[in-house]
Amino acid sequence: MLHTYFDHIRRILQQVEEREAEQINQAARRTAETIMDGGIIHLFGCGHSHILTEEVFYRAGGLVPIHPIFVEKLMLHEGAVRSSELERQNGLAEEFMHGQDIRPGEVMFVLSTSGRNPVPVDAAQIAKQKGAFTIGITSLEYSQSQPSRHVSGKHLFNSVDLVIDNYSAKGDAVLTHPDLATPFTPTSTVIGAAILNGIFAEAIPYMIERGYEPPVYLSGNIDGADDHNRRLIERYRDRIPLLS
């Protein structure tokens, strides 16, 4: 099944590259322009989607002005089942989103593969109210197969300014076996990580070509990296307390 799974991943990556290129390039331009204007990039996701916000935070070869919004009760380590239940609560995002330092013109990524739960939808809507340009990474197939749990009836895909489809199947799992009723092996994290890094792979040259030096981390395991990284971190520490 290894080859079958990898074939699925290759196929989805090709779909993303071919069908989402325009959206990825738009996200890259917005990301680059936000950073060149002195802003930062915000990301939020619940459950396993929060993994993608960590993927690009404080990352060797990645951008420094990345602000992941971590809400521990919506992650997995304080109670996995409870986190799923909380993600379904309308209005819960107001508890943590209104206090976020999101400024007009900045970029906010919201990550939710099903796109149906209230917390990511509310997070996107509140970020828009603050003036952010909102980008949803989600599965249109999955979202359109399930009713929204948000009071408005909206999914993430129709609550953001820009949608990037991760082409996850309904339920996320892509493999089956004749002796198992449940499909298995998800794709959303692998593809989501590729999408985000692909956006930044476009954003960094965009900045260079306009005479702006992109704030990119060196690996802390390379000699001389500490001084390089410290200078960049000082530039953003006030906006991103998690860099302390």
Write the pLDDT tens digit of every residue in 160-182: 999 999 999 999 999 999 999 99
Task: Please tell me whether the overall predicted TM-score, pTM, comes out greater than 0.85 for this model.
Answer: yes
What is the rounded distance in angstroms from the CA atom of residue 100 to the CA atom of residue 32? 21
Q: Does position 9 have pLDDT exceeding 90, yes or no? A: yes
Q: Does position 225 have pLDDT exceeding 90, yes or no? A: yes
Alpha carbon dihedral 116, 120, 125, 126, in 10-degree steps, equals 160
Average pLDDT, the chain: 96
Q: What phi, psi does 135 have (nearest 5°)?
A: -125, 125
What is the rounded distance in angstroms from the CA atom of residue 209 to the CA atom of residue 212? 7
Write the pLDDT tens digit of every residue in 58-87: 999 999 999 999 999 999 898 999 999 999
Most distant CA atoms of the chain, gap in Å? 58
Give pLDDT, residue 244: 87
Give pLDDT, residue 78: 87
Give me the helix-helix angle, 2-19 and 188-209, nearest 10°.
40
Helix (H/G/I), strand (E/B), else coil: 183: strand
